[in-house]
A = this chain, B = another copy of it.
């Protein structure tokens, strides 16, 4: 209802403000008996955190996820009970934010939070901070681990565009996270990564910011996941991605480009492969037809706007409605894209893990097994 919970069966509830007592998540609905993936989560948390290089915010976050419940102490197996994970807020310098209480930073959530709630946590943007995604990444990586354990599913996202620098097609069938992480900007093609880095650096020097596109592929999803009407995989993935901070667009398969194709060009012919499996020759649909997975790779993209915090003077108003000039200080990413990569992976995992579980209940035959 208040929108801090995601998922139906694998349910994730996040809490916490950027500079309060901690940020965390409760995962309810994780099946019992799974070895908790501490290392995998630590890895994705490291990819998510700021301060990884000069491309991103200098804020040093420990981001060490502590698990408070839901695990058998001796074995580390999941108990089937709620798993609460939290990250402390050690590096909070809230005095940086004191002078922000009264004014509305352009294209931030300051004004809209005040409009909705009548007050807001000023320090660090409160819950509107990108730091809110800590819980998503922790929970999403647990989801990813379940998908891998039960179906061998792999999720890989990468930066596909920064500003005007666009990465041409990559081999999505074989792309790995190691390839993605070869550059700090998380673009798997070296020379494109260099161009993207140059664009980001140029913006930073001007106190400006840039946006871009993250693409994601999910390999190994069997046919038959997704619900056919409101909870189409397309719909739930869209919601997941468009709930990420700064996201402004989403597409699946050929997306907006599909609008310029004829049906005869876009349709994916069915064939039977050597193992007797129904497959499609092409994958314009991005692995989802009628909202349900068809066994092909799921392909999606998310557009992120340029970060709102720029280091140039901006005209705005304060709470009293007086015109004021705002000059940002502090530590901020000139480009959110590299850090968005694990966030996109996490959200994809949350959607698919939920639908993996839901699909288990779809048929009487499945229930008899």
Interface residues on A, range: 35 or more
Q: Which of A67-83 contact B (CB under 8 A)?
A: 67-73, 75, 77-83
Pairwise interchain contact B107-A285, C-beta atoms closer than 8 A:
yes
Residues of B close to A245: CB separation below 8 A: 290
Q: Are A1's CB and B358's CB within 8 A?
A: yes
Also in contact, A117 and B82, with CB within 8 A (given A250-B242, A259-B213, A364-B33) = no
Assess whether A272 is in contact with B305, with CB atoms less than 8 Å apart: no
Q: Quick one: which of B236, B254, B264 contacts A239, CB cutoff 8 A? A: B236
Chain B: minimal CB distance from A26 (Å): 5
Which residues on B sit within 8 Å (CB–CB) of A161? 259
Residues of B within 8 A of A17 (CB): 69-70, 79, 81
Query: Are B15 and A226 in contact (CB-based, < 8 A)?
Result: no
State whether B256 touches A106 (Cβ < 8 A). Answer: no
A-B contacts, 29 listed (Cβ < 8 Å): A1-B9, A2-B358, A3-B230, A13-B13, A16-B84, A31-B367, A32-B364, A80-B117, A107-B285, A111-B289, A111-B294, A112-B224, A112-B292, A115-B294, A116-B225, A116-B363, A118-B363, A128-B228, A208-B264, A209-B264, A230-B243, A238-B238, A238-B241, A250-B250, A259-B304, A266-B306, A266-B308, A270-B315, A272-B323
A219-258 interface with B by 8 A CB criterion: 222-232, 234-243, 245, 247-256, 258
Chain A 7-26: CB-based contact to B (< 8 A → 1; otherwise 0)? 01101011111001111101
* Chain B residues, CB < 8 A from A249: 249-252, 255-256, 258-259
10 extra interface residue pairs, beta carbon distance < 8 Å, beyond A128-B228, A236-B239, A360-B360: A15-B26, A73-B121, A79-B127, A107-B284, A111-B294, A232-B242, A235-B240, A262-B306, A272-B323, A360-B361
Q: Is the CB of A242 within 8 A of B234?
A: yes
| A28 CB within 8 Å of chain B | yes
Q: Are A72 and B290 in contact (CB under 8 A)?
A: no
Residues of B close to A250: CB separation below 8 A: 238, 242, 249-251
Please measure, in the bound complex, the distance between the C-alpha atom of A77 and the C-alpha atom of B362, giving whole angstroms: 13
Q: Return the 3 tightest CB-CB contacts between A and B, nearest first.
A: A109-B290, A3-B227, A3-B231
Asked if A369 and B369 make an inter-chain contact with CB atoms under 8 angstroms apart, the answer reads: yes
Q: Is A120 engaged at the interface, CB distance under 8 Å to the other chain?
A: yes
Complex contact A112–B242 (CB within 8 A): no
Which B-chain residue is minimally distant from A80 (CB atoms)?
B117
Bound CA span A247–B237, Å = 13
A309 interfacial contact with B, CB 8 Å: yes
Are B357 and A303 within 8 A (Cβ)?
Answer: no
